[in-house]
Amino acid sequence: MIAGLLDRLLGTAPEAPSDEDARLALAALMVRIARADNKYETVEKERIDALLRTRYGLAGDEVLALRAEAEEVEAEAPDTVRFTRAIKDAVPHEERLAVLESLWSVVLADDEREQHEDALLRVVSGLLGLTDTESARARQKAAAK
């Protein structure tokens, strides 16, 4: 499963990434963001779960299963580009700001902004085709919630 997903995200599989692949890519990107400061705390996991539940209308067990799979995928993926490519292909530009807001929400979940998290979000923002100004707006919206 994980190898197949990574193959689809790399473009080496015969089939293109699906919407489910994009959903898993977003969940894995959230996990990667949460782990960027080398502290993957309960509050971050709970934030990821809440965001996935709201965004995809999942029940409790479905959310936990998606996050568990995302944790495995994140650990196996050598870089962030695979995740952002799947999201960029599946999510229209005007909706990517909400994706970035979700990612900022994960960063801010523990009430600490680490340098590694900021740097990763700057890269992710660019890979999603968003500007630094859009990222700042997404961060402000996430902080206000």
CATH 3.30.565.10 fits 2-144, yes or no: no
What pLDDT is recorded for position 7? 57
59 φ/ψ sector (left φ>0, alpha ψ -120 to 50, else beta): beta
What pLDDT is recorded for position 112? 86
**Confidence (pTM):** 0.86
One digit per residue, pLDDT tens: the chain, 145 residues? 455 655 555 455 545 555 788 899 999 999 999 999 999 999 999 999 999 999 999 998 999 999 999 999 999 888 898 889 888 888 888 899 999 999 999 999 998 888 889 999 999 999 999 999 999 999 999 999 8
Residue ranges of the alpha helices (H) in the chain?
2-10, 19-35, 42-56, 60-76, 81-90, 93-108, 115-127, 132-144
- Residue among 100, 99, 105, 101 at smallest CA distance from 46: 105
- Residue among 78, 79, 49, 42 at smallest CA distance from 66: 49
What pLDDT is recorded for position 71? 96
Euclidean distance between CA atoms 115 and 104, whole angstroms: 13
Domain ranges of the chain: 2-144
Structural tokens at position 42: 């309960």
User: 26-52 as b/e, with b when 16 or more CB fall inside 10 Å?
Assistant: bbbbbbbbbbbbeeeeeebbebbbebb
Task: Establish how many alpha carbons lie within 13 A of residue 143's alpha carbon, considering only the half-sphere containing its beta carbon.
Answer: 9
What pLDDT is recorded for position 83? 87
